[in-house]
Amino acid sequence: MVLTTVQHASNPIRDARVLQRMSLRDLADVIGCSHTYVSNLEKGRSRANLPILVVLAFVLELDLCELCNHYGVKVDEDTMNCILGHIEGPKDLKE
Write out pLDDT tens, residues 19-58: 999 999 999 999 999 999 999 999 989 999 999 999 999 9
The DSSP-derived string for 27-78 is HHHHHTS-HHHHHHHHHT-S---HHHHHHHHHHHT--HHHHHHHHT----HH
pLDDT at 82 (0 to 100):
85
Q: What is the CATH number of the domain that holds 88?
A: 1.10.260.40
pLDDT at 77 (0 to 100):
86
Calculate the average pLDDT of the chain.
82
Domain holding 44, by residue range, is: 5-93
Q: How far apart (Å, rounded) are the C-alpha atoms in residues 19 and 80? A: 26
Question: Could you tell me how far CA 73 lies from the centroid of its own chain?
Answer: 11
Query: How many domains does the chain contain in total?
Result: 1
